[in-house]
Amino acid sequence: MKVMLLFISVLSIGFSLPASAAQQDEFPVAPPPFTEGIFPCSACHAGLGLNTKKRVLKDEHTTIELRHAEKERWCLDCHHARNRDKLKLADGETINFTESYRLCGQCHGNIYRDWRAGIHGKRIGFFKGGKRIYFLCVNCHDPHNPKFKPLKPEPPPIRPELQYGK
């Protein structure tokens, strides 16, 4: 009976933790690569009125070119409308930029699964038993235009026997 009560207590504590706290421990991430002087977003957005109409931005953020499901999406599908220092998930949950992998994972589930397993993306540190850092999707992909630009391939390596002789 005591074992059962202990099990239920531990289980209820686990369910009472916010998902983001558990995920931060599970996936310690590198900081997002913000453009200098652009974060916190509230520094500029605090005094502005809220305009949720989909439109081309003409005064600010003019260097951002949305090439990411642009016919179906726009800024406020990912950025929180009232708290510009946060992102929002499809269900309305507010998350920090350090949890942006959860936002990306809503549409890119197979890649999110691979990222969690360490198959996609970059990690530094230890896989088990030591400190590790996961790089966020945005450390490699521009969230507004995520496709990699074409790269010129490098020449093939020179075989050692051709380089140094037999």
The pLDDT tens digits of the residues spanning 37-75 come to 888 888 888 888 888 888 888 888 878 887 888 788 888
List strand residue ranges (DSSP E) for the chain, in order. 87-88, 94-95, 123-125, 132-134
- pLDDT at position 13 is 38
DSSP code at position 66: -
Distances (CA, A) of 99 to 9, 54, 60, 104: 28, 25, 25, 9
The overall pTM is greater than 0.85: no
Taking CA atoms, 21 is separated from 105, 145, 153, in Å, by 18, 29, 42
Q: Say which residue, 6 or 94, is predicted with more confidence.
A: 94
Distances (CA, A) of 29 to 41, 106, 154: 21, 18, 31
pLDDT band at 27, cuts 50/70/90? confident
Domain ranges of the chain: 51-145
pLDDT tens for each residue of 142-165: 898 888 777 788 888 888 888 776
Closest CA to 121 of 137, 106, 132, 143: 137
Asked whether 142 and 155 are in contact (CB, 8 A), the reply is no
If DSSP codes are grouped into helix, strand and coil, which group holds residue 65? Answer: coil
For residue 79, the SS3 value is: strand
Per-residue CA distances from 37 to 40, 57, 72, 82, 87 (Å): 8, 19, 29, 20, 18
